[in-house]
Amino acid sequence: MSQTLWNRTLTWSGAVRRSVSRVGWPATDKDRAAAMISSLFLHIHPARVSRHVLKPAYTCALGLIAGVLFVVLSVTGLALMLYYVPYPPEAYRSMKDLQFVVTFGIVLRNMHRWSAHAMVMVVFLHMCRVFWTGSYKPPREFNWVVGVLLLLLTLGLSFTGYLLPWDQLAFWAITVGTNIAAYAPVVGDQVKFLLLGGHVIGPMTLLRFYVLHCVMLPLAMLLLISLHVWRVRKDGLSGAEVHAPAAEEVAGVFPPSTKTYGLMALSKRPRTSVEARDPNDDVFAWPQLLYRELLVALAVSVALHVVSLVFMAPLEEMADPTRTPNPAKAPWYFLGLQELVHYSALVGGVIVPTLLVLALLVVPYFDRGKAGAGQWFAPERRVANAVFTTLAVIFAGLTIIGTLFRGPNWAWVWPWK
């Protein structure tokens, strides 16, 4: 009797599970492929991936980490929205409440803050990785452009979020940041007015930044991330081709294909034919890729928890428009620009950022040669890499100077003094 009941329960629960997931825990390669293809969430992965792109040394998992950070930011951000009031001075008080009253509030806030900083850093490094491995080479030019837009969105999200605590740090950083925007010729003042909802930062600015930060920019981000990942899925990860043996070599081992694949004829995915690749180069995404992704996500969340428990997110006095700190600094990722603005407002505020963004947007359409794609610091791309690296180092150097070496009146100070 009990045996029957047990079996019937098993049958019932099996039916429930199958209604949710059509494929069970995959035991065969076919099931593994089916598991990836039949799930909405897993389908952004191919069923099989080249084992070469799984190597951590190639991608450094930077894109994945950025994605994980976006998820962490979305989750913590939604939780923070339950406590936040986008109106001064309650905005500042809600920061204090998070710190002192809300259960896990301070961990939430710290995690959101540090994840946001980390994301800016990681997205920037991801861009460097893509450049240094030549991964924007055809046919991936447009995905690079999407990536640049995602970098700008990341900066925008971080910048709009910077104001929300409504403390002195936030207020004056945004003041400096929006003043840099106002240097733009002709439209500068209008852009600033549009951003601030007035001529100075006030309750309207806070509301605008809140809506931008919580609704508009995350939606745009989600859309572009989907596009970005979709293109990666369709184009495949770069680097696989490099390791694909030449068709002639494989030809001797595998008989030439006589099959036709209807859908694949539509796919623009560039590759040698399915059969022309060494089957030993491909591994199943389940579990090889998923497992590694899980490990990276786990590592990221452990690191975020540690940082959030040890380092407090900064919170200064409540914003006071009558008290200007000296120096008033923009958020750190704009301090390179602020350092330039210190020399020349037009150069630092307009010319350099415009040229940088334009250069990033068009670089895949000028640097079209396929040579050197898919490997780090390919000798064929020595010039391109040298130019990019120089610019990146200069920009990073200016940022570090602006962050650590500038004191009152933007005078030089030694950070250890």
- In the complex, minimum distance from the CB of residue 42 to other proteins, in angstroms, rounded to a whole number: 16
Residue 67: left if φ>0, alpha if ψ -120 to 50, beta else—which one? alpha
For 281, other C-beta atoms within 10 Å of its C-beta total 15
Candidate residues 6, 104, 311, 405; the one interacting with other proteins per rule CB under 8 A? 104
For Cα atoms 285, 288, 291, give the angle at the middle one, nearest 5 degrees. Answer: 110
DSSP state of 255: P
In the complex, minimum distance from the CB of residue 397 to other proteins, in angstroms, rounded to a whole number:
29
Of 278 and 380, nearer to other proteins (C-beta) is 278
C-beta of 114 vs 124, nearer to other proteins: 114
Residue type, 87: Y
The region of 92-100, 224-232, 247-255, 368-376 touching other proteins under the rule CB under 8 A is: 92-100
Which one, 97 or 380, has the nearer CB to other proteins?
97
56 binds other proteins (CB under 8 A): no
Backbone torsions φ then ψ of 200, nearest 5 degrees? -130, 165
Q: State yes or no: residue 93 binds other proteins (CB under 8 A).
A: yes
Is residue 284 within a helix (H) or strand (E), and if so which, with residue range?
strand 282-284
Kindly state the smallest distance separating residue 323's Cβ from other proteins, in Å. Answer: 5
* Least Å from the CB of residue 27 to other proteins: 10
Of positions 23, 34, 42, 99, contacts other proteins by CB under 8 A: 99
For 42-190, strand residue ranges (E) read: 48-50
Place of tokens 């030694």: 414
Using CB under 8 A, pick the residue from 34, 96, 293, 327 that binds other proteins.
Answer: 96
The count of residues in the chain is 417
Contact status: 233 vs other proteins (CB under 8 A) = no
> What span, in angstroms and rounded, lies between the C-alpha atoms of 274 and 52?
17
Check residue 4 for interaction with other proteins (CB under 8 A): no
Q: How far is the CB of 160 from other proteins (least distance, A)?
A: 23
What is the torsional sign of CA 216, 221, 224, 225?
negative
In the set 23, 39, 51, 357, which binds other proteins (CB under 8 A)?
51
Question: For residues 47 and 276, which CB has a smaller minimum distance to other proteins in the complex?
Answer: 47
The residue written with tokens 């030993």 in the block is 280
Min separation Cβ 107 and other proteins, Å: 6
Dihedrals φ, ψ of 154, to 5°? -60, -45
Residue closer to other proteins, measured from CB, 167 or 367: 167
Instruction: Find the radius of gyration of the CA atoms of the chain.
Output: 25
Nearer to other proteins, 300 or 363 (CB): 300
> How many C-beta atoms lie closer than 10 Å to residue 199's C-beta?
9
* Per-residue tokens: 333: 């990722």
CB within 8 A of 98, min separation 6: which ones? Answer: 80, 83, 105, 106, 108, 109
**What count of other Cβ atoms lies within 10 Å of the Cβ of residue 369?**
12
Of 97 and 141, which has the nearer Cβ to other proteins? 97
Cβ-based nearer residue to other proteins, 10 or 309: 309
- The answer to whether 29 contacts other proteins (rule: CB under 8 A) is yes
CB 46 within 8 A of CB 283: no
Residues between 273 and 332 with contacts to other proteins, criterion CB under 8 A: 280, 283-284, 287-288, 291-292, 294-295, 298-299, 301-302, 305-306, 309, 315-317, 323
Coil, helix or strand at residue 298: helix
Comparison of 37 and 145: residue with beta carbon closer to other proteins: 37
Applying CB under 8 A, what is the total number of residues that bind other proteins?
36
127 within 8 A of 147, measured Cβ to Cβ: yes
219 in contact with other proteins (CB under 8 A): no
Footprint of other proteins on this chain (CB under 8 A)?
28-29, 32, 51, 89, 93, 96-97, 99-101, 103-104, 107, 167-168, 280, 283-284, 287-288, 291-292, 294-295, 298-299, 301-302, 305-306, 309, 315-317, 323
